[in-house]
Amino acid sequence: MATFVSLSATSLYGTSWTGTGPGSGNPTPSGTVASSTDFSDHIKSVSISLDADEVDFTNFGAGGFKEMKTGLISASVSITFFADYAASSVNTVMVPAILARTLGYWDFKPTSSARAATNPSLVFALTPKKVPTAMAIGAAEECTVDFSIAGKYARLTS
């Protein structure tokens, strides 16, 4: 059994992509985020969720059992950041992105090594849908930003 402890994951964010970008209408993405911001030192955790609709195909020949098939798939990403208000940092990038409804691109890798079968990039075209701000005296300020994925995401190994 292979196991993994996340110690040096990398994350790049930008509003443009070199090559064929992930997302709607692009079945085989290639390339990477252009003009990117590296948020690796601000990210505490990343959660990627794939959700498939169930479509009922039950018929008279089903023997009294429902026959379900996978329908449309949607995906979402939730990132917990340590907050930062400096130029080109979390708050100054994410808040304007949600206000402007800006499509962005994320490229996540498990380690800082080059893309490979054992270190794939998970790449997405997405828009932020929730950017909360919360503060507490004496605590590390965190904000969890939720994103909606625009179209298909990809797992790139080269």
How far is Cα 49 from Cα 53, in angstroms, rounded to an integer?
A: 13
The answer to whether position 58 is within a domain reads: no
The residue ranges of the chain whose pLDDT is under 50 are: none
For residue 131, the enclosing domain spans 10-42+83-156
State the total domains in the chain: 1
Mean pLDDT over all residues of the chain?
88
The answer to whether position 69 is within a domain reads: no
The answer to whether position 122 is within a domain reads: yes
Kindly write down the DSSP assignment for every residue of 41-88, as one continuous string: GGEEEEEEEEEEEEEE---GGGTTS--EEEEEEEEEEEEEEE---STT
The answer to whether position 57 is within a domain reads: no
Tokens of 39: 């948020």
Is-above-0.85 flag for pTM?
A: no
